[in-house]
Amino acid sequence: MKKMINGVESLLEESLNGFAKAHQDIVSFNHQPHFISRKQTKSAGKVMLVSGGGSGHEPLHTGLVGLGMLDAACPGQIFTSPTPDQMMAAAESVENGGGVLFIVKNYAGDVMNFEIAGEMLDCPHETVLVSDDVSLPKDHSTGRRGVAGTLIVEKIVGAAAEAGADLQQCKALGERVNNVTASMGVALTSCTVPALGKPTFDIGDNEIEMGVGIHGERGREPMNLISASDIVEHLAAAIDQDLKPQKGQKILLHVNGFGATPLMELYLIYELAEQYWQQKGVEVARSLVGNYTTSLDMAGASITVTLLDDEMISLWDAPVHTANLRWGF
């Protein structure tokens, strides 16, 4: 294993220190317990958005703290849920009279710890559970995983909160966005968790894993290496079958890298995916391409589609200023 680290135990702390210093105009870093919070001025009564999860998915979630998105993010150790005390401390630090909305990816540890934190909070709070991974069936025993669609929920709901939507409106909007968002990913390689020191699963030079999550777990099916066009066909068909967009439907198309895939390849995936839906009469009205919900050093990508209405388009376009997502200024 080759990693540019001083040690497994110090990696997260040192990385967060560097992140906060590099973006000190946007965020602050609370050391004990760990959380990143927004520096920009917040209106009294604004709903505060708090998210988090295991580290290793950067820039999700810390890189999305700022104006128009998250007010705080709680990073756990790599692929490990943050603790309830982190979540409580973050929520109490940012709460400003409008309540707190937790945005939680559907993983057992995250769900449990955010529930515990919520039970101990004195301020009004609600939760949106993100479950956009269509590689799992809707009736899966633990539900579908939350993956790259989490960013879409955070951006749209963050804009609504910034514009003055109340807690129940933000929760309803987040659930609506989640219900019209679907993602699926493919891995060309595994990732290497520093504490493990080796790839989390074995994959041959001529193999891919279709339907992977973002924690180094295997996909739903191993396949022989196929062309980019065939990969996109597999991913897009699963998403299209789930969302069933009609002709003329506007969508947001997000191509996300897992950490070790060059942008040249990601834009190729976008080109092929855009063609796929264009041929079906679906309009790609908004787009996002890049590494946003990663899995350490995994090579691979995911495709996310959100069915858009005029309100969602307006909220997506609203100004945002975070370390890793910014426009409108």
Q: Give the amino acid at 215.
A: H
140 catalytic per annotation: no
Please state, in angstroms and rounded to a whole number, the distance separating the CA atoms of residues 303 and 233: 11
From the candidates 23, 34, 57, 61, give the one annotated as an active-site residue.
57
Angle at alpha carbon of residue 243, lines to 242 and 244, rounded to 5°: 100
Q: What distances in angstroms separate CA 81 from CA 52, 215, 322, one per listed residue?
A: 8, 11, 23
Burial of 329: CB neighbours in 10 Å, binned 0-12, 13-18, 19+? exposed
Closest CA to 91 of 110, 115, 73: 73
Q: What distances in angstroms separate CA 296 from CA 55, 161, 215, 317, one per listed residue?
A: 9, 30, 9, 29
Please state, in angstroms and rounded to a whole number, the distance separating the CA atoms of residues 278 and 188: 27
User: Tokens at residue 113, please?
Assistant: 């710890």
From the candidates 23, 34, 215, 254, give the one annotated as an active-site residue.
215
Strand partners, 303: 184, 255
Please state, in angstroms and rounded to a whole number, the distance separating the CA atoms of residues 283 and 277: 7
CA atoms within 13 A on the CB side of 198: 3
- Using CA atoms of 164, 170, 174, 175 in order, give the dihedral in degrees to the nearest 10: -150
Cβ 75 vs Cβ 22: under 8 Å: no
Cβ 257 vs Cβ 224: under 8 Å: no
215 catalytic per annotation: yes
Catalytic residues: 57, 215
